[in-house]
Amino acid sequence: MARQLLSRSLFDARWLMVPFYLGLVVALAALLFVFVRELVHGLLAIGGMTPTDAILLALALIDLSLVANLLLIVTLAGYENFVGRVDSGRETRPSWMGTVDFAGMKIKLMGSITAISAIALLRIFMKLEEGTTIDERTLLWMTVIHGALILSALVLSISDRIAEHRRVVPPAA
């Protein structure tokens, strides 16, 4: 009886994750607000924009979009993996829902973080091209961190591939 109660309590503890996912939805709404603000600000300044300004605006919007995608993937995949099936009552579920396991979520997460880092670095390079002075130390550290993210994504990808291979190939007799 005590074992069953303990097991049930541990299993029901997954519902403690729901406030985290709701918090991510709030963060998604905040990102939407920032996205719209950036877009409106950019559109109001469109008459005086240089090509570099337009590219920087596009990169800022892409950056926000990638972070929003990341939040959505973590929210929906995390909920489905750890709490329960998302039942929207509609047949409009994205094809990836229900198929992204924890390993797939890690790969998508690292891919998104690496892309966000690349965009941040590209924005700095665009500012350099425009003539803005950037601290060399900051540029060096951003490049090193981006390289470390790429390396981490590569190691994670290789380790997942090795783990997948081990699950598929039966042990030798």
Residue type, 6: L
Q: pTM of the full predicted structure?
A: 0.71
Q: Give domain status of residue 160, yes or no.
A: yes
Q: Give domain status of residue 172, yes or no.
A: no
For 124, the domain range is: 2-85+94-166
Q: Which pair of structure tokens corresponds to residue 108?
A: 């998508």
Q: Which pair of structure tokens corresponds to residue 114?
A: 């690496």
Q: What is the mean pLDDT of residues 84-91?
A: 73
For the chain, the average pLDDT equals 84
What distance in Å separates the CA atoms of residue 42 and residue 57, rounded to the nearest whole number?
A: 7
Q: Give domain status of residue 173, yes or no.
A: no
Mean pLDDT: which of 18-27, 46-55, 70-79, 97-106 is highest?
18-27
| Start-to-end CA span in the chain (Å) | 42
pLDDT tens profile 120-129: 888 888 877 7
